[in-house]
Amino acid sequence: MSEPTDTGSTGTEAAAGGSAKLRNRHITMITLGGIIGASLFVGSGNVIRSTGPAAIISYLIGGLLVFLAMRMLGEMSARRPSVGSFMDYANESMGGWAAYLVGWLYWYFWVGVIAYEAVVGGGILSGWFPAVPTWLWSLLLVLVFIGTNILSVRVFGEVEFWLASVKVITIVVFLVVGALFALGLWPHATNSVSNLWNHGGFMPMGFSAVMIGVATVIFSYFGTEIAVMASAESVDPARGITQATHTVIWRILLFFVGGVLIVVTAVPWDRLPDPDEIAPFAYVYGLFGLPGAAQIMTIVLFTAVISVLNSGLYSASRMFASLADKGYAPHIIRKRSKTNVPVAALIASSLGALAAVVANFTVPASGIFDFIMNSGGLVALFVYVFIALAQWRMRMKLTPAERAALTLKSWLTPVLNIFLIAVVIGVVIIMLLSEDGRAQVWTSLVATAVLFAVWPLVKRKLNARGVDTSPAMDQRAAAAKADSASS
């Protein structure tokens, strides 16, 4: 039996010329700015208000999980770069069912994110230009970023480079000025480091609140894997993948942990305003006395929103096309342009997101939009588990010579794999014990159950076409064994 052809699924297949590929500077900025979004600028306020200064610990623990997952993904990607990323590696190590499940869940997650960012971005634009309705702004935003993605991956990279640059510059200024402010070295400021322990202690809500915070912040980091996917479409995939994997830990420490540290040091945690009224970063920027701080942060937040929208369209379209390459999605979704852009997957993903946007504006009481948003809640955790399992099984099936030849290695396999999976299970249990998290768990399980129910039909169709859905590594081993026996 044979596998479907993976046309366009790897970075080494250059249907597009080198001029259309991403450059190292694009990968650098996608790597730096890929996870800086509204979840940091706004969402960090909810974590701080429910955890206290110990929110720093929540972000550290969540960052550790992401770092371990990225290291495991980096090992597999450096061995065989692929735009399909962990979906392809799940197929190679565990078989068609795993690739089908994680690929569709990941696509579904990003379609929801695209819809959410379009609604938020439309709301910001409507505030600036109230004569145009929010729904029309949302539609226009999606159309604009279909345009940036449809031309070539190089255009996507160029747009993301400049959007990410705005976010990186903003957070660097915030860290530098914030440190001076907290130490009393900024004009009209006094040393406020004692805010870390003076208002009920460093961990006023207890360690359980810290772990509930982990369940929240881990979703803020989701999107880091985009850098690895994009590296497969760069002029130097191996270098891009290594760079993305090596720099993820200091990105997390600098941008997330550093940013939250400045907030809880500059402002007593129990006096931080409601993030729905003013974002914590905007509030602290206002304390610095910088002119136009609120307006600047609104622009930066809008930049972050459209950056995620741009990246979301890229991620959703690449994963959808990879699913079609494997036979897990309609054949027409494989269609690519001369510059190797998966045009059909891009348009289909956009239509899926727009359907959710329409539901939000036309039938808000139906709960359809809320279900789509909540049901993607566990996807980040599912992806981390699949990455850990795929890398573990890959290591088991490699020969000693192949393991020695790995250019980028994860550590302590399978100890850290088991640790990652165990923590994910713990986070899910914590989510089940919290009212907000419980809705995400159950709706995510419903979406997953639907995919599981459809898999036997997909498998039967593939088998009828002569496609083997067993792990690709097993197929190659069996073929090698048969060749050896025949000779």
- At 286-299, the pLDDT tens digits run 888 877 777 888 88
| Model pLDDT, residue 180 | 95
User: 3-state DSSP: the chain helix, strand, coil percent, rounded to 5?
Assistant: 75, 0, 25
412 DSSP assignment: S
Task: Examine residue 414 and say whether the peptide bond preceding it is cis (omega within 30 degrees of 0).
Answer: yes
Distance CA 226, CA 311 (A): 8
| Model pLDDT, residue 14 | 39
What is the pLDDT confidence band of residue 487, given thresholds at 50, 70 and 90? low
Query: In the chain, what percentage of residues exceed pLDDT 70?
Result: 91
Mean pLDDT across the chain: 85
Distance CA 215, CA 424 (A): 9
End-to-end Cα distance, the chain: 20
Q: What phi, psi does 448 have (nearest 5°)?
A: -65, -40
Question: What is the mean pLDDT of the segment spanning 65-93?
Answer: 86
Q: Decide which of 486 and 422 is more confident.
A: 422
At 474, list the tokens.
């097993």
| Model pLDDT, residue 80 | 85
Span 369-404, pLDDT tens digits: 777 777 776 888 888 999 999 999 999 989 899 899
pTM above 0.75, yes or no: yes
Distance CA 451, CA 458 (A): 10
Distance CA 323, CA 334 (A): 9
Q: Decide which of 300 and 33 is more confident.
A: 300
Distance CA 198, CA 146 (A): 50
Distance CA 361, CA 371 (A): 14
| Model pLDDT, residue 456 | 94
- Is 185:54 a contact under the CB 8 Å cutoff? no
Domain 18-482's class? mainly alpha
* Domain map (residue ranges) of the chain: 18-482
Tell me: pLDDT of 12 over 60.
Answer: no
Span 419-440, pLDDT tens digits: 999 998 988 888 888 776 788 8
Write a three-state SS string for 252-277: HHHHHHHHHHHHHHHCCHHHCCCCCC
366 DSSP assignment: G
CA 347 to chain CA centroid, Å, is: 20
Question: What is the mean pLDDT of the segment spanning 225-245?
Answer: 80
**Among 125-139, 235-249, 293-307, 349-363, where is mean pLDDT lowest?**
235-249
Distance CA 436, CA 47 (A): 13
Helix H segments across 94-187?
96-128, 134-151, 153-182
What is the pLDDT confidence band of residue 33, given thresholds at 50, 70 and 90? low
Core vs surface per residue 1-24: b (16+ CB within 10 A) or e: eebbebebbbbeeeebeeebbbbe
The residues, any chain, with a CB within 8 Å of residue 271's CB and separated by 6 or more, are 199
At 400, list the tokens.
């000693």
Closest CA to 441 of 369, 382, 353: 382
